[in-house]
Amino acid sequence: MELQIDRQELHQALFRAQGIVEKKSTMPILASVLLDAVQGEGDGRLRVSAFDLEIGVTGSHPAAVKKPGAVALRHKELFDIVRNLPEGAVTMKREANNRVRITSGTVEFNLVGQPAEEYPPFPRIEKTQLLPVEATQFLDMIEKTQFAISQDETRHNLNGVFLEALPESLKMVATDGHRLALMERPGATDFGLKKGVIVPKKGLFELRRLLEEGLPGCEIGFSDTSGVFRRGELTMVMRLIDGEFPNYSQVIPKEADRKVQVDRTRLIETLRRVSLLSSDRATSAVKLELTTGSLRVTSQNPDLGEAKEDLPVAYEGQPLTIGFNARYLLEVLSVLDSPQVGLELCDELSPGVLKPAGGEGVPVRYTAVIMPMRI
């Protein structure tokens, strides 16, 4: 194998792989990327692949290939080297015993590689139906739900987002048992699925990174066991979570007795200030005291004191006092786009619902549910 490739092109390929390569695997080869140089009608291409047996990404990049071939190199060292090389062309040449000589100007490195045959084969995706998606819209759905994914590894079926393609809309849901986030975007999205699928947390974050590149021509598809993202000559494949996602519709209160409308930015600022004196910094517990036209947010700490702040709200109804995890509230408020937010409450023991104010009838529907706390 011998080729020449632009440093920036190689850097981008290795950057895409850094979240996938396994650093502590029992299979050392999974800490490497597979470099496969092929000659074509033009100068040739260098395909860079990373695969941890659950998630894989592979991309083809233009290169001047003098001699085709393949080799596996440790990702971390290769990425650090390429990141610090001067701008311009990088020459790579595989020599005896899979050693690879990397040169750029007066700089030279000689890395120990592994045979390409030892690298696990990349999953085949020919039978997966791919549909074009608007990258910004799909990215928005991920950002508005991913914070509610469970971090408890024993709750396997909650370690990802539930994606449900209905005839008239696409839904994305995440929950950890304490809060839930639901994003629904209208429009027919026929992935050919009989039921929803659970996209794993790691795969979702890697998909987000690719979508954030903001390039057009994105396609996404799902089978019963795999999810696929493709854009041009870049492909990502992930194994879906095998499990049953809970019936999320049962968690969402159907009708609230008390509906409050409040300025989103003002509420964020209040929660951040008042939660500074929360007695439990892990949960940042705060108490909400709702009365006509006013919402008082308080916190107490027996060692430090107490904090309270009043802010005006649009509300006319019976008083209510309820406790919440301030961090959960802030995570929802931070992803909302509307200036005003609607808070729906029933009683001190029932979950609270957060929605963009005036969300009724708008094309994109978003709902967050947060369980109350005893304070």
Residue 123 lies in a domain: no
Please give the distance of CA 51 from its chain centroid, rounded to a whole number.
Answer: 18
- Whether residue 140 is found in the same domain as residue 234: yes
- Whether residue 98 is found in the same domain as residue 151: no
Q: Which one-letter amino acid corresponds to residue 208?
A: R
Residue 328 lies in a domain: yes
Residue 279 lies in a domain: yes
- Whether residue 18 is found in the same domain as residue 51: yes
The CA distance from 60 to 39, in Å, is 12
pLDDT in tens, 223-261: 888 999 999 999 999 999 999 999 999 989 888 889 999
What is the domain extent for residue 210?
130-249
Nearest alpha-carbon partner for 31 in 43, 47, 20:
20
Residue 335 lies in a domain: yes
- Whether residue 228 is found in the same domain as residue 262: no
* Boundary-marking domain end, from 65, 87, 118: 118
E strand or H helix at 140:
helix 135-143
pLDDT in tens, 204-218: 999 999 999 888 889
User: What's the Cα-to-Cα distance from 87 to each of 9, 11, 66, 320, 370, rounded to whole Å?
Assistant: 11, 11, 21, 63, 50
pTM of the shown model? 0.90
Residue 82: give its domain's CATH number: 3.10.150.10
Q: What is the length of the chain?
A: 375
Average model confidence (pLDDT) for the chain?
A: 92
Q: What is the pLDDT, as a whole number, of residue 242? A: 93
Residue 375 lies in a domain: no
Backbone angles phi, psi at 172, to 5 degrees: -130, 125
* Boundary-marking domain end, from 207, 229, 249: 249
Mean pLDDT of 153-171: 91
- Whether residue 149 is found in the same domain as residue 137: yes
The answer for residues whose C-beta is within 8 angstroms of residue 9's C-beta and 6 or more apart is: 61, 62, 63
Q: What is the pLDDT, as a whole number, of residue 204? A: 96
Mean pLDDT of 35-43: 86
Contact 248, 310 (CB under 8 A): no
- Whether residue 149 is found in the same domain as residue 196: yes
Q: How confident is the model at residue 282 (pLDDT cuts 50, 70, 90)?
A: low
E strand or H helix at 141:
helix 135-143
CA geometry: angle 172, 177, 182, nearest 5 deg: 20
The answer for residues whose C-beta is within 8 angstroms of residue 111's C-beta and 6 or more apart is: 73, 74, 77, 78, 81, 99, 100, 102
The tally of domains found in the chain comes to: 3
DSSP three-state, residue 175: strand
pLDDT in tens, 99-151: 999 999 999 999 999 999 999 999 888 778 888 988 999 999 999 999 999 99
pLDDT in tens, 313-368: 999 999 999 999 999 999 999 999 999 999 999 999 999 999 998 645 555 689 99
